[in-house]
Structure 1
């Protein structure tokens, strides 16, 4: 079935994958209570998503927690985190395939550090996306206007459908004329897309 839709853009974390990503399992792996771990994890995330080196980010997180991780441990933590953020939640692959098999161009637009971007690119589920926009490659993060401008430049239009789980990201996209939607689940997305 062909659909007459503009390009469809998906966020990754909280849309295609679980909203918590690696936070809960990683805190368990490290033996640090989730509530204590989550605060420094998110506090320093924006610069990491802009492309700062993994070792810089994880050393800041460790310092806030009052611990020290050697470089090999940081590598292990970072890889675990990247893989958790890149594991599709149930039903997402079917949704992606439904859109792509209807002849609609699709793209990823994610605030993501280099390790997560690499894992996402290598994942079989991402192979059918027309474009993959990662903040680490662009040096800008949602909801900053520059990251949306990069998508518009690539597609040559503001007529885009976008799903994201964070209201500021959706609001910024709507301000640019995108058909942007807060992610509330697969049934709502299918209704928007006419699937």
Structure 2
């Protein structure tokens, strides 16, 4: 499966990936960036209590991550809240939601730099709507990844086995040659069922311990 978002690491002057090293695959929200919920921040933006906002925000999120448009998702959320948003308000809310992924959390830059300059193949695998995917693709921190794989582009979401198969096809590697970090146990379990070396994310320090055990470069 071709990857239209391949970054072209050779143009960055990086080392060629070692054929003996596994590839390292990262989730984004709650792993590379801060907590993915965003409910408290967004509820303040629209003036709704977090407890009231959380229900509709997540109720329609699965289809949004599969690729439905912002103009389909946000009106459903608004209707559940008894609100009506103009096109301008919808765009502002959607952009605020997406921009939460524009910056890495502390310690992540050093981790990724060590892997990528060391010649390790790296990839992103995230359940993400189109708006968030665009923000990540435009962010400087994502340029070093060999592959950036988003649920909205495939019409598939974790923990569907087909999305892991798509990653294997894109990277040209079997599951046992993939190391994966995600913050959700169901996604980890599904990856392990395909033979991936999958680990629940608990922080950069624990991640480095795993990488060191595999002989991979770390900060």
Q: CA RMSD in A?
A: 1.5
For residue 128 of structure 1, report the CA deviation from its aligned partner: 0.2
Once residues 38 and 96 of structure 2 are traced to their aligned partners in structure 1, the CA distance between those partners, rounded to angstroms, is: 7
Partner residue, 2:188: 170
Once residues 86 and 184 of structure 1 are traced to their aligned partners in structure 2, the CA distance between those partners, rounded to angstroms, is: 21
Aligned residues: 195
1:104 to 120, 129, 137: 120
Poorly superposed stretches of 4+, deviation over 4 Å: 1-4
Matches within 5 A, 1:28-107: 28-107=44-123
For residue 22 of structure 1, report the CA deviation from its aligned partner: 2.8
Once residues 25 and 108 of structure 2 are traced to their aligned partners in structure 1, the CA distance between those partners, rounded to angstroms, is: 13
1:118 maps onto 2:134 in alignment: yes
Once residues 165 and 84 of structure 2 are traced to their aligned partners in structure 1, the CA distance between those partners, rounded to angstroms, is: 39
Partner residue, 1:15: 31
Query: Is this contact kept in 2: 1:21–1:81, CA < 8 A?
Result: no
Query: Is this contact kept in 1: 2:101–2:135, CA < 8 A?
Result: no
Corresponding residue SS for 1:162:
strand
2:209 to 179, 191, 194: 191
Once residues 183 and 107 of structure 1 are traced to their aligned partners in structure 2, the CA distance between those partners, rounded to angstroms, is: 16
For residue 21 of structure 1, report the CA deviation from its aligned partner: 4.5
Query: Is this contact kept in 1: 2:180–2:197, CA < 8 A?
Result: yes
Q: Give the gaps of 5 or more residues in structure 2.
A: 1-14, 213-217
Deviation per CA, 1:152-172: give whole Å up to 9, x if none.
001222210000000000000
Partner residue, 2:7: none
For residue 53 of structure 1, report the CA deviation from its aligned partner: 0.7
Q: 1:156 to 1:20 in 2, by over 3 A?
A: closer
Partner residue, 2:147: 131
Q: Give the gaps of 5 or more residues in structure 1.
A: none
Deviation per CA, 1:123-155: give whole Å up to 9, x if none.
000000000000000000000011111110012
TM-score (norm 1): 0.96
Deviation per CA, 1:72-116: give whole Å up to 9, x if none.
111111011000133211111111111112210000000001110
For residue 5 of structure 1, report the CA deviation from its aligned partner: 2.7
